[in-house]
Amino acid sequence: MHDFPRYSLLATRYCLILLFTTVSCSKPDPLYQEQILALGALVDISISGVEPERAQQAASAIAQDFNRIHRTWHAWQESELTRINAQLPGGAPFPVQADLIPLLTRAQELSRQSEGLFNPAMGKLIGLWGFHSDEPRGPPPDPGAIAALVAQRPAMNDLRLENSLLQGRNPAVQLDFGAIGQGYAVDTAIAHLRRLGIENAIVNASGDIRVIGKHGARPWRIGIRNPRGPGILASIEMQGDESIVTSGTYERFFEHQGRRYHHIIDPRSGYPARGLASVTVLHGDAVTADAASTALLVAGLKDWKRVARAMGVKQVMLIDEQGKVYMDAALARRVYFEITPAPDVEITGSP
Amino acid sequence: MTRADFIVTLAAVALLPYLYVTQWGSGARGEQVRISVGGKEFARVPLYKAQRLEVPGALGVSVLEIKDGKVRFVASPCHGKQCVHSGWLTLSGEFAACLPNRISVQVAGREPRYDAINF
């Protein structure tokens, strides 16, 4: 009997260790998930930590936001943007809706910072390549037509915006916000969720993601698609308020006579950018990440750091056409590769 | 540390894998596939039962194959065939879509390995 206290102590320790391990493995809060089709894309909304009815109402509100943005900014279906594009070549100032101005000015600023590599003014070139279509089919356009459009140098600083009046000063300018439309919609949706008091959520529009808060007690887990094959290349944990956007040459493309032509056009050459397969940018807001991922893919391995610095972007992962990964040490600590063998990684200096 | 302390600690540590599996669910592998057409759920099908499914979409019929806990697009009436190139999906949270045909396929499990996929 004199051993009883000792066994009791052992049993207590055993229970404590069990309790600790059980608690540390406990499941996160239940999650509300809804999928909508908007902006020609699949939009996933995940909301954690609120009752399902409230989450459902919030998701419906977001769906309306996406549909409104679709109607406003679509580059080739009738929209506010196509009405603007119809008036720009005339050269006379014309009024634009007040709610369009913030994105127009932001796009001008991002384009300037990116040295024009992110260029929403080259809508004609995008259309010439046949990417103003849900299913681009090719063939590639006539080289003479490409050269003629490039020579006209359509740029965002050809636009003058004063007192809600917009004026085009280069008849070649046609706006196409395809490179930041999803990011803008994601930012708008997150702001709306916050106004509704939602603190833990993910909005994912065709892979352009912004997270706020957490998934229960743990961070959100994001899988990054392998740009060179099926499946997931890597994963990363995100929390607080952060966006992750990837521009990849595998997203939209057509094939012609055995050659692949993708949708990220280099405004300097007028042809699809060469050298990189994808660029992933982590940043606070999704619009900046979206514009930067496009600009850095165009900039390529030689110039990406300078452009990233100018755009205020710090965390970047680049993957070249051979599958080699380039990223700085801070991001490398966060990224966990999900394929074996892991790809060849070069740690670069910070931008 | 006495021998008894050691045994108790060892027993607790040995239980960890069991707790991991029971508390986190199957984690990686999905259990069923959620098929949506035009953003609306079309069907939920278990991944353990081998079958071919014909899903009517906006352009025509997409064919899905389910086998050995995996699902893939076999055929789709779209032009680019990106859905077919996505290959097999098996992990909870993985998804593929044929946007022209408005069909999406997502693997679901008790606890998805990924909350969202960036691409």
- Here the ipTM equals 0.83
Nearest residue on chain B to A14, alpha-carbon basis:
B8
Phi/psi of residue A60, each to 5°? -65, -40
B92-119 confidence digits (pLDDT tens) = 888 889 988 999 998 987 777 899 999 9
Q: Give the distance from residue B90's alpha carbon to the nearest chain A alpha carbon, in angstroms.
A: 9
Share of chain A above pLDDT 70, in %: 91
A19: pLDDT strictly greater than 70:
no
Share of chain A above pLDDT 90, in %: 81
Nearest residue on chain B to A279, alpha-carbon basis:
B119
The full DSSP string for A218-256 is B-EEEEEE-TTSSSEEEEEEE-EEEEEEEEETTSSEEEE
Stretch A275-303: mean pLDDT = 98
A58-69 confidence digits (pLDDT tens) = 999 999 999 999
Cis before B100? omega within 30: no
Give me the residue spans of the domains in chain B: 32-108
A21: pLDDT strictly greater than 90:
no
Stretch A14-23: mean pLDDT = 52
pLDDT bin (cut points 50, 70, 90) of residue A298 is: very high
Residues 6+ apart with CB under 8 A from B88: A230, B70, B71, B72
Give CA–CA dist A249/A263, Å, rounded.
Answer: 7
- Closest Cα to residue A175, out of A253, A230, A118, A130? A118
Enter the tokens of residue A195.
């106004």
CB-CB: which of B25, B104, B118 is closest to A244? B118
Enter the tokens of residue A166.
């917009």
Enter the tokens of residue A221.
């887990």
Mean pLDDT of chain B: 83
Q: Is B70 in contact with B47 (CB distance < 8 Å)? A: yes
A156-194 confidence digits (pLDDT tens) = 999 999 999 999 999 999 999 999 999 999 999 999 999
A145-159 confidence digits (pLDDT tens) = 999 999 999 999 999
Enter the tokens of residue A143.
């080289």
Q: Which helix (H) or strand (E) holds A161?
A: strand A159-162
Nearest residue on chain A to B18, alpha-carbon basis:
A22
pLDDT bin (cut points 50, 70, 90) of residue A17 is: low
Q: Give the distance from residue B49's alpha carbon to the nearest chain A alpha carbon, in angstroms.
A: 22
- Closest Cα to residue A189, out of A31, A28, A34? A34
Strands A276-283 and A335-337, by their bridges, are: unpaired
A318-332 confidence digits (pLDDT tens) = 999 999 999 998 899
Q: Give the distance from residue A42's alpha carbon to the nearest chain B alpha carbon, in angstroms.
A: 8
Give CA–CA dist A305/A299, Å, rounded.
Answer: 9
Q: Give the distance from residue A140's alpha carbon to the nearest chain B alpha carbon, in angstroms.
A: 15
Choose the mutation target among A42, A186, A220, A279 for the interface with B, i.e. most B CBs under 10 Å: A42
A240 to A134, A243, B24, B111, B119: CA distances (angstroms): 34, 10, 23, 21, 21
* Residue of A133 and A15 predicted with greater confidence: A133
The full DSSP string for chain B is --HHHHHHHHHHHHHHHHHHHHHHTTTTB-SEEEEEETTEEEEEEESSS-EEEEEE-SSSEEEEEEETTEEEEEE-S-SS-HHHHT--B-BTT-EEEETTTTEEEEEE-SS-S-SEEE-
B75-86 confidence digits (pLDDT tens) = 999 988 889 998
Residues in chain B: 119
Top-level class of domain B32-108: mainly beta
pLDDT at B20: 52
pLDDT at B112: 76
Chain B hits for A340, CB-CB cut-off 8 Å, are none
Q: Is A156 in contact with A119 (CB distance < 8 Å)? A: yes
pLDDT at A164: 93
Nearest residue on chain B to A17, alpha-carbon basis:
B12
pLDDT at B25: 42
A41:B87 CB<8 A: no
Stretch A90-114: mean pLDDT = 97
B3 to A13, A276, B35, B77: CA distances (angstroms): 14, 59, 55, 68
Give me the residue spans of the domains in chain A: 32-351
Stretch A212-220: mean pLDDT = 95
pLDDT bin (cut points 50, 70, 90) of residue B21 is: very low
Q: Looking at domain A32-351, which CATH architecture does it have? A: Roll (3.10)
A108: pLDDT strictly greater than 50:
yes
Phi/psi of residue B21, each to 5°? -65, -45
Give CA–CA dist B63/B77, Å, rounded.
Answer: 9
The full DSSP string for B90-111 is -BTT-EEEETTTTEEEEEE-SS
Q: Give the distance from residue A33's alpha carbon to the nearest chain B alpha carbon, in angstroms.
A: 10
Give CA–CA dist A218/A201, Å, rounded.
Answer: 13
Residues in chain A: 351
A301-311 confidence digits (pLDDT tens) = 999 999 999 99
Residue type present at position A329:
A
Query: pTM for the complete prediction?
Result: 0.80
Give CA–CA dist A85/A41, Å, rounded.
Answer: 23
Mean pLDDT of chain A: 91
A24: pLDDT strictly greater than 70:
no
Q: Is B66 in contact with B33 (CB distance < 8 Å)? A: yes
B116:A40 CB<8 A: no
pLDDT at A9: 59
Q: Is A227 in contact with A215 (CB distance < 8 Å)? A: no
Of the given ranges (A279-288, A302-311, B44-53, B108-117), which has the lowest mean pLDDT? B108-117
Report chain B's terminal Cα–Cα distance, integer Å.
52
Give CA–CA dist B117/B53, Å, rounded.
Answer: 24
Give CA–CA dist A58/B3, Å, rounded.
Answer: 57
Q: Is B98 in contact with B20 (CB distance < 8 Å)? A: no
Q: Which residues of B touch A (CB under 8 A)?
A: 4-5, 8-9, 11-12, 15-16, 19-20, 23-25, 36, 38-39, 78-80, 82, 85-88, 91, 93-94, 97, 99-100, 102, 104, 106, 111, 113-119
Give CA–CA dist A301/A33, Å, rounded.
Answer: 38
Report chain A's terminal Cα–Cα distance, integer Å.
70
